[in-house]
Amino acid sequence: MSRLPEWPPSISHPELEHLTNLATTYALSHGLLYLPPHPPSGAPPPTQAPSSAIHAPFSIFPSPFPRTLFEKAQRLQRAYNSDGAEVGAGRVDEFTGELWKIWKSLRDEGIEQELQLGIFRSDYLLHASDESQPMLLKQVEFNTISSSFGALSERVSALHNYLYASTGYFNSSPYLKPENFPPNRTTAAVVEGLVAAHYAYGVKDARILFVVQAGERNVFDQRWLDYELLEKHGIHIIRQTLPELASSAHLSPTRSLLISDSPQSPPNATEISTIYFRAAYTPTDFPTPEHFSTRALLERSRATKCPSIQLQLAGGKMVQMALTKAGVLERFLNGDGDAQADGMFAFGEEEVREVRESWMGMWRLGDNPPAGSATPSGMERAAMNHANLVLKPQREGGGNNVYKSSILPFLETLPEREREAWIAMELIEPPVSVGGWLVRAGSTGSSATGPTGGGGAVKSDIVSELGIFGWALFGPGQVGGAAQTKDVAKNSETMMRTGEGGWLVRTKGRESDEGGVAVGFSVLDSVVLIDPN
């Protein structure tokens, strides 16, 4: 398939109003929610019970996606689960450098991560640079920390199924039928990894710790995981910020992580089995050295981290770039003789080829050729090809990249010492002629063609990004018990359990380079699968 159908389907003004009204009331009554924006001062409110909520941004129609490429993205996740569990990272920028120092300190102290849990999300765009050729699936990035919006995306899928069940989408498209709406069980899939880590820890009354940001607006996405853990598995959680943990967290003599009202009241402390980070991925989470000290204390505990610092570092752009070099990926997936002999991460040549085909070209801005070489430096290559590039730092959360025409002035002011912290990546070219009706709470309902009257729905040319969730629990010894283990790779020292099954779609206006929902660029979406003509 070289083109997607023209989208969205044509509907009348009253039909759009009706769909928008049904969708917003469904979102509000089914937990597809966000907390309202912070006050103009920008200061997040203190931790307190929320008194109001708004619906999360969403699309009215699911976005078209080739069925074969959707299935390929799901298939690739098994390799990425293993890949993410195995790679490491080096020193690059100041923030990442502080995390690296913590990991190096732990290594020098001889503290091993007994078990590690990765909840991963691999993000993709469709690439259609030549309409005479089939569309390709290209990876945007691989996330190893705070892979969010899984629970809310599952509810957007349910919303689109509801709109079809209640209206048939007014018979506006032959593609809109039940068999083209893939199932979405992201909440259960993510929780499955947390449950596996919790039971592998083996302490009956232990709890899972959610490390969160103060004033988190995306709290409902996290709460759905909390409810699933309690209602389906009887597992309790504790939610705390890094500043709260600075006074509440301490270690027992055996390195158990204990959470109490104060360090002076250990008899009332709760033991933690698993630390799930929904914070600690951005420099703003670490305004003082004490915040890094708290992270180090959590790392020193024997609780299973999701992710550990080294696994967080493995999600850095620099590591993803390094994997594209010849022979590096093969070392982790099928090139190591000992790994193959033990049945560990044994992927065939076809699977490795598919992973490589999902990547665009990447290089470091700090790359320098040997003296006398005619090969351009990383900076020179970026300057020469800036119109077709994006520059990415070691950051997560959206809003951090530099695109196309902004690259040259950025390079002119980039200090030499910071070049190692940036990579250049060839731009993915999404298919054209795809639009959608996007709804944000408080939207005025206007577009380039004038008021829509759709109760807040705005028509835009769109780009949709598909994220596939997976998880891996790994470390020395038995993981989760043989009876619980579905997919285990093992050798004499390591056990590993993995799982896949969840997905999300984030859709943005084509005019926007960035794509984060939390920072206001995108809406949550789902897919309608399209078969080749």
Known binding residue 373? Answer is: no
Known binding residue 244? Answer is: no
> Rounded to whole angstroms, how far apart are CA atoms 229 and 225?
6
Known binding residue 231? Answer is: no
Determine the straight-line distance between the first and last CA of the chain, rounded to whole angstroms. Answer: 7
Known binding residue 364? Answer is: no
Known binding residue 279? Answer is: yes
Residues 6+ apart with CB under 8 A from 255: 111, 300, 301, 302
Known binding residue 145? Answer is: yes
Residues 6+ apart with CB under 8 A from 100: 89, 90, 91, 313
Q: Whose CA is closest to 136, among 431, 506, 451, 504?
A: 431
Known binding residue 518? Answer is: yes
> Rounded to whole angstroms, how far apart are CA atoms 175 and 160?
13
Known binding residue 403? Answer is: yes
Whether 49 and 238 have beta carbons less than 8 Å apart is answered as no
Q: Estimate the crossing angle of helix 67-86 against helix 349-357, to 10 degrees.
A: 100
Known binding residue 278? Answer is: yes
Known binding residue 153? Answer is: no
Known binding residue 392? Answer is: yes
Partner residues linked to 305 by β-bridges: 116, 275
Known binding residue 146? Answer is: yes
Known binding residue 77? Answer is: no
Known binding residue 256? Answer is: no
Known binding residue 129? Answer is: no
Known binding residue 275? Answer is: no
Known binding residue 395? Answer is: yes
Known binding residue 289? Answer is: no
> Rounded to whole angstroms, how far apart are CA atoms 417 and 391?
16
What distance lies between CA 423 and its chain's CA centroid? 19
Known binding residue 489? Answer is: no
Known binding residue 401? Answer is: yes
Partner residues linked to 364 by β-bridges: 423
* E-assigned strand segments in 67-193: 116-127, 136-143
> Rounded to whole angstroms, how far apart are CA atoms 476 and 333?
19
Residue 105: which H helix or E strand, with range?
Answer: helix 94-109
* E-assigned strand segments in 332-415: 362-364, 389-393, 402-403
Residue 480: which H helix or E strand, with range?
Answer: none
Known binding residue 412? Answer is: no
Known binding residue 533? Answer is: no
Known binding residue 81? Answer is: no
Known binding residue 119? Answer is: no
Known binding residue 177? Answer is: no
Known binding residue 148? Answer is: yes
User: CB neighbours (10 Å) of residue 94?
Assistant: 12
Q: Which residue has the tokens 């009354």?
A: 205
Known binding residue 325? Answer is: no
Q: Is 142 helix (H, G, I), strand (E, B) or coil?
A: strand
Structure-block tokens of residue 420: 């190692």
Whether 61 and 454 have beta carbons less than 8 Å apart is answered as no
Known binding residue 353? Answer is: no
Known binding residue 399? Answer is: yes
What distance lies between CA 19 and its chain's CA centroid? 29
* DSSP track, 74-98: HHHHHHHHHHHHH------SHHHHH
| Residue list, annotated binding site for substrate | 121, 145-148, 216-218, 222, 278-281, 506, 517-518
| Residue list, annotated binding site | 121, 141, 143, 145-148, 216-218, 222, 278-281, 317, 392-401, 403, 425-428, 465, 506, 508, 514, 517-518
| Residue list, annotated binding site for ATP | 141, 317, 392-401, 403, 425-428, 465, 508, 514
| Residue list, annotated binding site for Mg(2+) | 141, 143, 396
